[in-house]
């Protein structure tokens, strides 16, 4: 079994309204010293495939679904469990 | 507890020989939420059968007897006051899952309001979403297309100190944001506009929030489906979501007091999935159009158990169910879990055998799962099988008829008193009221809900010049393309007046609902009542319940407007505190021609301003007294004759197109009503209060006396208006400021931009 | 003309859209993606493909992403042919998001393999249901009958058009901007007139050839005059959205 | 400066409609061997606070804003950067 972790972030320089809103909410709650908040999505996909096939499939998934390259960067990790 | 396994995951429970102590233990360990009396009744029944029950039999019965399913504390009171108000239009009243009322010759509208309080307190996002999902199903299962949602919400104050929160209680802001996100994400995703609601903040709701949700649908009369199976041989088709362990004992949870431990009751919180619901709506409506649904009910509180039991019992047939045919989310579920699970997004249809293929085809097109899990049979017994083993054999009557109590009650005595404060700085009071969280703009919420989807919203919840809008009193939906007839929808509640006097609070709530509908030009037509109360085992709470119901009943009966559906939520108690009596109304009015609808924003320079109704020095429960910290137990008094009179007059004047804007006077009184109308029209008014007679100006401006409206009347039509409506002229639309004097004495003069600024900041201060 | 209104789970503005075409006397039908997939219907049998608003597949992952991926897997070939033949595709709101994800828009150099732009979370970080004013920027088959300034409602959480600088330049150069958000007097919009923070206040785009339109505001919700919030202040013969539908079908 | 990474996941047993929808969609796209898809959120909070204060503040933030213990599990990492 493979556990695939995909983290999809906004590219550097792309506005992050959700991060900004959270920063603001934290400030309204009187938290101090907050410089920045960023938000990303994390997907865990569990695959019943051999490692090599899995890796290939994951590349495809990312391209077809998880990421829009205009605004997103991503990290991916595939591990056998 | 003595139990022996008689089939895989089915146990026979020894209750025949159980002592009282053991009965209590059985109740406790099985999570039945029954009283000892009820356990004994159960025991007696099985003694008469001469056998022990299986665990699933006990669960099935406990489910049927829960407060939520059987209304055991409320039924007798409801029967006395709420039920049976005669009406020509009401078609199905307090029988099925939602009320059905005639719209025109061909169509009927269907609606209901319901509570989802405890689950939302524990998990605001999922709880609120599930509440919306549940109420939509109630409408859908009458065969109707859901076309509008409403969401009355009650929270603790947004600025409540964290330190003061009881253990396990979440902060009002956290709860509110979660609840609103849950309603937004669910309602928007299924494509039903959320067009009205209440967002009310008060300390009384810190420990126990209220999340009510209402839905309205439209159906061709010949397509109405009943929640009844009246013929043997019909197949039970379970479609939509799968059945899981989520939501087991949700109904019991709803009938318990919230405690620190409630956090652990996660299993009782069901989770809705709008992406199953949306195609499910399409599929059900398609099947209904094809005429193949012979009976239908959604799976809400109580799960399969209450659905099959109630449908068959109502139709006088028996039921045969094969639980191994139910599609499951997780393996290893015991039959009793399957029977009581409240997993969301499920509908049960009764279908002729020959139509099974057709329904399969429809489900396939919409990517929905279904399975046939049993059928109706001759007789009056519920028989359940599990991989061929016969595990339940009970008379339906015993399972579904439930129990009823005449709970003792005590009506509280009210000492009348009213402090008279120093005269205030009028400008400051008005601006403070406008920026207070109960009065200020709810735009932050309203715009997160798609209130336009389906293209039927012809009078929006926010009214006025684009991007300058103010609050409207009711929204109007135009349900049919080829008819100008519209449905006005509003919600009303007033817990603070109810807290002083439950009876007067209820009258006031009806008054406010009527005011809101009349303000947009609609004739009040029917009500759904959502009754939120504390712990009914306390006499004074039962007293409040009686008084509220009496008030709701008296008012509606006098006006000839029926309650066609409703919901009771008891046990809104936490940490020894009960919520104030909070009956919430979802009210529907009819407007024959939506082109005559009237909005709340001032329209035009030179038009005259009138106040309709009597202003009195009754400041109990008012926002003004709360602001300045003055005390009063003089609750506003509704005169039903006056209400009826003014209502007819205003509707008549509107029908003659004399009124260009109208707003009811509610929270914050006359001053706030005027300010809101100015804000939406981006135009000022000059007002002289002297025609209102001799009274302190702060009472004139901030009293919340019922049965009052502000009307803007077309220039030149004043005489005609005055002939029809009993009203006092108090000024005219002009300039950019709200200018108010009482005779020769100027009280304030504030620019509309400043009014708008204060008003819009109310929630923004907390939410950004 | 034969109009197909595409559906999957979560699309939910199809009825209004259906009504609009029907009122204009067109031959219109709902087309569930599953019917395309099973070959029960073919795209080539239609003249207009309408991708309605809503929350296709819950807008999970990213608005429109799942719908686009599935559509691509099932019918990319047919979609290309559809566009190349000069037939009309219009995506509203969620439909616009789908067209961007598919690479059918902005398509500055023809249909692109990867998305060339994105409709991302509104600057306010909130779902915004409000009315906007739009100014017609360029003429196309979607705008020929449309008055210079119209008002239409938006209802979305992800509508901020973003792309790379050079793509934006090409979009402008190619005269692909169909509508911009403006203030009521036609001047440059700021929030809330531009409800999402879209680059260049872009509300609607076409492809360079002008036969594919993506638009965030909902013309189908302003087809009739009384759907406008200001019907009691301003008389209209037709809703402003009517003219977009009218344009599409006039020969 | 502190970089705080908070990952908020749904607890085992809590329904995840988003994960389910994504799984179903991937299957419709003919991807194979998918056992499960889970979705989580990842927050990065940058704080200008000393390590100890930061840690305390983060605990509070998690309690007040990021996590509902009824349905969420979380992981948190605080590092100096
Ligand atoms: N939670 C909510 N959801 C939808 N609409 C809401 C909500 N809360 C308030 N509103 C809307 O805001 C407006 C003002 O509400 P409220 O102040 O309760 O009305 P009123 O002026 O009748 O007292 C109404 O149009 C109401 O429907
Ligand atoms: Mg009102």
For residue C65, the chain A residues in CB contact (below 8 A) are: 65-66, 68
Give C108→chain B minimum CA distance, Å.
32
- Asked if pLDDT for residue B249 goes beyond 70, the answer is no
B267 — pLDDT class (breaks 50, 70, 90): low
- Taking the CA atoms of B244, B246, B251 and B256 in sequence, report the sign of the dihedral they define: positive
Peptide bond into C192 cis (omega under 30): yes
Model confidence at B344, pLDDT cuts 50, 70, 90, reads confident
Are C134 and A40 within 8 A, CB to CB? no
* Interval B212-217 mean pLDDT: 98
State residue B374's pLDDT score: 97
Over residues B496-514, the pLDDT tens digits come to: 999 999 999 999 999 999 9
Instruction: Output the pTM of the full model.
Output: 0.95
Instruction: Nearest chain A residue to B766 by CA: give it.
Output: A28
Chain centroid to CA B557: 20
Tell me how far apart the alpha carbons of residues C135 and B217 are, in angstroms, rounded to a whole number.
Answer: 36
Closest C-alpha to B26, from B46, B55, B68, B60: B55
Q: Does the pLDDT value for residue B370 go beyond 80?
A: yes
How far CA C66 is from CA of B117, B364, C56, C90, C106, in Å, comes to 34, 19, 7, 18, 19
Q: Which residues contact B428 (CB under 8 A, 6 or more apart)?
A: none
Strand locations in B592-669, DSSP E? 608-612, 659-664
Asked if residue B258 has pLDDT above 80, the reply is no
Report the domain count for chain C: 1
Report phi then psi at B378, rounded to 5.
Answer: -60, 155
Please give the pLDDT value at position B399: 85
Q: What is the pLDDT of residues C25-34, one digit of tens each?
A: 999 999 999 9
Please report, rounded to a whole number, the percentage of residues in chain B having pLDDT higher than 70: 96
D70 min Cα distance to partner chain B (Å): 6
Ramachandran quadrant class, B285 (left: phi over 0; alpha: psi -120 to 50; beta: rest): alpha
Give kind and range of the element (H or E) at residue B687: strand B685-688
Judged against a pLDDT cut of 70, whether residue B255 lies above it is answered with no
- Exposed/middle/buried for B697, CB within 10 Å: 0-12, 13-18, 19+? buried
Atom 19, ligand 1: which residue's CA is nearest? B473
Judge whether A24 is closer than 8 Å to chain D, CB to CB.
Answer: no
Tokens standing for residue B606: 């030179």
What's B725's DSSP letter? S
pLDDT for D16 = 85
Neighbours of C65 (CB within 10 A): 25
Quickly name the fold that domain A2-80 has: Mth169; Chain: A , (3.30.1280)
Task: Choose the residue to mutate in B188, B442, B473, B513 for probing ligand 1, maximizing ligand atoms within 8 Å of C-beta.
Answer: B442
Task: Report whether pLDDT(B268) > 60.
Answer: no
d(CA B78, CA B230): 27
Give me the residue spans of the domains in chain A: 2-80
Mean pLDDT of B204-227: 97
Smallest Cα–Cα separation from B368: which of B435, B273, B261, B447? Answer: B273
Q: Would you state the pLDDT for residue B62?
A: 87
Distance between CA atoms of residues B591 and B595, nearest Å: 9
C116-158 pLDDT per residue, tens: 999 999 999 999 999 999 999 999 999 999 999 999 999 999 9
pLDDT band at B283 (very low <50, low <70, confident <90, very high): very high
Tokens of C1: 């003309």
Tell whether B602 is within 8 A of chain C (Cβ).
no
Residues in contact with C159: Cβ distance below 8 Å, sequence separation at least 6, in sequence order? C93, C96, C119, C122, C128, C195, C196, C198, C216
Q: What is the mean pLDDT of chain B?
A: 93
Whichever domain contains C110, its CATH number is 3.40.50.880
Cβ pair B376, B315 in contact under 8 A: yes
Q: Please say if the pLDDT value at position C237 is more than 60.
A: yes
Average pLDDT across chain D, whole number: 92
φ and ψ at C87, to 5 degrees? -75, 170
* Between B252 and B192, the higher pLDDT residue: B192
Tokens of B741: 């004097």
**ipTM > 0.90, yes or no:** yes
pLDDT grade, residue C56 (50/70/90)?
A: confident
Residue D17, pLDDT score: 86
B714-744 burial, b at 16+ Cβ within 10 Å, e below that, comes to beebbeebbebbebbbbbbbbbebbbbbbee
Q: Which domain holds residue C32?
A: 2-249
Q: Do B274 and D17 touch (CB under 8 A)?
A: yes
Distance (Å, whole) CA B726 – CA B729: 10
pLDDT of residue B270: 65
For ligand 1, the distance from its centroid to the CA atom of residue B584, given in whole angstroms, is 13
The pLDDT of residue B168 is: 86
* Ligand 1: lining residues by beta carbon, under 6 Å: B 151, 153, 194, 196-199, 442, 445-446, 461, 471-473, 516, 666-667
Nearest residue to C213 (alpha-carbon basis) of C130, C95, C114, C101: C95
Choose, out of D20, D28, D29, D40, the residue to mutate when testing the contact with C (most C CBs < 10 Å): D28
- pLDDT confidence of residue B269: 63
User: Residue B754: is its pLDDT beyond 70?
Assistant: yes
Contact B174 D64 (CB under 8 A): yes
Element (H, E) at A76: strand A72-80
With beta carbons less than 8 A apart as the criterion, state whether B236 and B307 touch.
no
The encoded tokens of residue B136 equal 């939509």
- Give C73→chain D minimum CA distance, Å: 7
Measuring CA to CA, which residue among B58, B78, B101 is closest to residue B525? B101
Nearest Cα residue in chain D from C57:
D21
How confident is the model over B31-87, as pLDDT tens digits?
A: 888 889 889 999 999 999 999 999 999 998 888 887 766 677 888 999 999 999 999
| pLDDT (mean) for A59-69 | 94
- Going by C-beta distance under 8 Å and a sequence separation of 6 or more, which residues neighbour residue A50? none
* Extents of the domains making up chain B: 3-67
- Tell me what pLDDT residue C161 has: 97
Give the tokens for residue A32: 């101090």
Query: Closest to C114 (Cβ–Cβ): which among A21, A65, A69?
Result: A69
Report, at the CATH architecture level, how domain B3-67 is classified.
Orthogonal Bundle (1.10)
Residue D12 binned pLDDT confidence (cut-offs 50, 70, 90): confident
What's B132's DSSP letter? H
Task: Determine the Cα–Cα distance for residues B371 and B239; give it in Å rounded to an integer.
Answer: 7
Token readout for B732 is 């005219």
Sequential DSSP letters for C138-173: S--TTTTT--SEEEEEEEESEEEEEE-HHHHHHHHH
B328 contacts: CB under 8 Å, gap ≥ 6: B242, B243, B244, B338
pLDDT digit string, tens, across residues C92-127: 999 999 999 999 999 999 999 999 999 999 999 999
- CB-based contact (8 Å) between D17 and chain C? yes
Q: Which residues from B are below 8 Å from C232, CB to CB? A: 597-599, 603
Could you give phi then psi for residue B273, rounded to 5 degrees? -130, 100
Lowest mean pLDDT, pick from A55-59, B121-125, B245-249, D3-7: B245-249
Question: Residues near B246 by Cβ (< 8 Å), separated by ≥ 6?
Answer: B267, B269, B270, B271, B329, B341, B342, B343, B344, D14, D15
Give B1's pLDDT tier (boundaries 50, 70, 90): confident
Identity of the residue in A48, A53, A64 whose CB atom sits nearest the CB atom of D35? A48
D60 touches chain A (CB under 8 A): yes
In sign, the C-alpha dihedral spanning D56, D61, D62, D64 is positive
Whose tokens are 């009965």? That residue is B23
CB–CB contact D18 C60 (8 Å): yes
The preferred substitution site among B120, B172, B179, B196 for testing ligand 1, maximizing ligand atoms within 8 Å of CB, is B196
Alpha carbon distance B216, B489 (integer Å):
9
What is the rounded average pLDDT for all residues in chain C?
95
């Amino acid at each position: 079994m493979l556990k695939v972790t995909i983290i999809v972030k906004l590219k550097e320089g792309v506005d992050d309204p959700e991060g900004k809103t959270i920063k603001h909410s934290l400030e309204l709650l009187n938290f101090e010293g907050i410089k920045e908040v960023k938000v990303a999505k994390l997907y865990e996909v569990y695959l019943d495939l051999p490692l090599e096939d899995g890796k290939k499939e994951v590349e495809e998934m990312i391209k077809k679904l998880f990421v829009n390259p205009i605004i997103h960067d991503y990290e991916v990790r595939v591990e056998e469990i | 507890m003595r139990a022996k396994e008689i089939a895989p995951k089915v146990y026979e429970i020894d209750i025949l020989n159980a002592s009282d102590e053991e009965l209590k233990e059985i109740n406790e360990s099985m999570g039945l939420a029954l009283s000892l009396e009820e356990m004994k009744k159960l025991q007696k029944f099985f003694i008469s059968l001469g056998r022990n029950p299986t665990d699933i039999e006990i669960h099935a019965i406990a489910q049927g007897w829960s407060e939520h399913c059987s209304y055991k504390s409320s039924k007798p009171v409801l029967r006395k006051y709420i039920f049976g108000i005669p009406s020509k239009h009401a078609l199905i009243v307090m029988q099925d899952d939602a009320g059905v009322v005639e719209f025109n010759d061909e169509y009927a509208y269907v609606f209901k309001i319901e509570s989802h309080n405890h689950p939302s307190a524990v998990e605001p996002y999922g709880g609120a979403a599930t509440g919306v999902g549940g109420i939509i199903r109630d409408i859908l299962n009458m065969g109707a297309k859901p076309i509008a949602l409403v969401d009355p919400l009650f929270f603790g104050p947004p600025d409540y100190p964290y330190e003061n929160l009881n253990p396990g209680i979440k902060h009002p802001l956290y709860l509110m944001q979660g609840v609103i996100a849950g309603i937004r994400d669910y309602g928007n995703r299924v494509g039903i506009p959320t067009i009205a609601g209440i967002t009310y903040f008060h300390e009384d709701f810190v420990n126990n929030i209220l999340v009510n949700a209402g839905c309205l649908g439209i159906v061709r009369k010949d397509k109405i489906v009943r929640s009844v199976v009246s013929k043997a041989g019909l197949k039970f088709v379970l479609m939509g979501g799968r059945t899981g362990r989520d939501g087991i004992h949700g109904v019991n949870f709803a009938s318990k007091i919230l405690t620190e431990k409630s956090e652990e009751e996660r299993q009782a919180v069901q989770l809705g999935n709008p992406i199953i619901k949306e195609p499910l709506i399409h599929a059900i409506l398609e099947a209904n159009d094809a005429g193949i649904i012979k009976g239908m009910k959604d799976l809400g509180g109580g799960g399969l158990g209450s659905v099959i039991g109630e449908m068959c019992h109502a139709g006088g047939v028996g039921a045969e169910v094969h639980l191994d045919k139910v599609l499951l989310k997780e393996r290893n579920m015991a039959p009793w879990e399957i029977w009581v699970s409240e997993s969301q997004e499920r509908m049960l249809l009764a279908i002729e055998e020959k139509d099974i293929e057709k329904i399969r085809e429809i489900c396939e097109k919409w990517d929905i799962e279904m399975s046939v899990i049993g059928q109706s049979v001759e007789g009056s017994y519920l028989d359940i099988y599990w991989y061929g083993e016969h595990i339940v054999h009970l008379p339906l009557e015993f399972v579904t008829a439930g129990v009823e109590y005449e709970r003792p009650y005590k009506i509280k005595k009210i000492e009348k008193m009213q402090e008279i404060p120093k005269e205030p700085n009028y400008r400051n009071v008005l601006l403070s009221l406008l920026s207070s969280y109960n009065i200020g703009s709810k735009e932050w919420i309203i715009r997160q809900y798609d209130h336009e989807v389906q293209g039927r919203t012809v009078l929006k919840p926010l009214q006025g010049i684009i991007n300058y809008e103010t609050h409207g009193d009711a929204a109007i939906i135009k349900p049919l393309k080829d008819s100008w007839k519209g449905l006005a929808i509003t919600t009303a509640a007033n817990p603070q007046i109810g807290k002083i006097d439950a009876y007067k609070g209820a009258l006031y709530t009806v008054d406010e609902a009527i005011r809101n509908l009349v303000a947009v030009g609609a004739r009040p037509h029917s009500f759904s009542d959502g009754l939120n109360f504390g712990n009914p085992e306390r006499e004074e709470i039962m007293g409040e319940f009686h008084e509220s119901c009496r008030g709701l009943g008296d008012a509606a009966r006098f006006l000839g407007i029926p309650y066609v559906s409703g919901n009771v939520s008891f046990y809104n108690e936490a940490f020894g505190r009960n919520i104030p009596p909070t009956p919430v109304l979802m009210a529907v009015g009819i407007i024959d021609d939506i082109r005559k609808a009237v909005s709340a924003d001032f329209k035009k320079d030179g038009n005259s301003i009138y106040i309709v109704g009597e202003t009195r020095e009754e400041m109990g429960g008012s926002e003004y007294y709360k602001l300045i910290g003055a005390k009063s137990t003089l609750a506003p008094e509704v005169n039903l004759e006056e209400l009826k009179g003014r209502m007819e007059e205003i509707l008549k004047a509107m029908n003659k197109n004399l009124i260009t804007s109208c707003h009811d006077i509610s929270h914050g009184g006359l001053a706030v009503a005027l300010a809101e109308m100015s804000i939406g029209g981006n135009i000022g008014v000059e007002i002289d209060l002297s025609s209102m007679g001799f009274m302190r100006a702060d009472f004139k401006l901030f009293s919340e006396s019922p049965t009052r409206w502000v009307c803007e009347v077309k220039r030149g039509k004043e005489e005609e208006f005055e002939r029809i409506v009993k009203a006092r002229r108090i000024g005219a639309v002009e300039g950019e400021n709200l200018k108010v004097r009482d005779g020769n004495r100027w009280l304030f003069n504030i620019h509309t931009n400043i009014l708008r600024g204060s008003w819009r900041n109310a929630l923004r201060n907390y939410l950004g | 003309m034969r109009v197909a209104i595409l559906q999957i789970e979560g699309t939910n503005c199809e009825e209004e859209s259906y009504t609009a075409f029907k009122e204009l006397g067109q031959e219109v039908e709902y087309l569930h993606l599953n019917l395309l997939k099973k070959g029960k219907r073919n795209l080539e049998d239609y003249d207009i493909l309408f991708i309605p608003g809503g929350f296709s597949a819950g807008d999970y992952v990213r608005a429109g992403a799942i719908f686009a991926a599935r559509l691509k897997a099932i019918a990319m070939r047919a979609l290309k042919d559809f566009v190349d033949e000069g037939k009309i595709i219009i995506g509203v709101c969620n439909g616009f998001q789908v067209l961007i994800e598919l690479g059918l828009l902005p398509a500055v150099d023809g249909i692109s393999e990867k998305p060339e732009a994105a409709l991302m979370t509104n600057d306010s970080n909130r779902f915004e249901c409000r009315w906007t004013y739009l100014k017609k920027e360029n003429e196309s088959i979607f705008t020929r009958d449309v008055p210079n300034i119209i008002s239409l409602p938006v209802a979305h959480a992800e509508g901020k058009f973003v792309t790379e600088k050079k793509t934006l330049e090409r979009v402008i150069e190619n005269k692909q901007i169909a509508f911009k958000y403006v203030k009521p007097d036609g001047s440059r919009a700021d929030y809330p007139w531009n409800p999402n923070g879209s680059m260049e206040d872009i509300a609607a785009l076409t492809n360079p050839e002008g036969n594919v339109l993506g638009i965030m505001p909902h013309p189908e919700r302003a087809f009739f005059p009384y759907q406008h919030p200001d019907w009691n202040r301003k008389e209209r013969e037709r809703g402003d959205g009517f003219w977009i539908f009218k344009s599409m079908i006039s020969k």
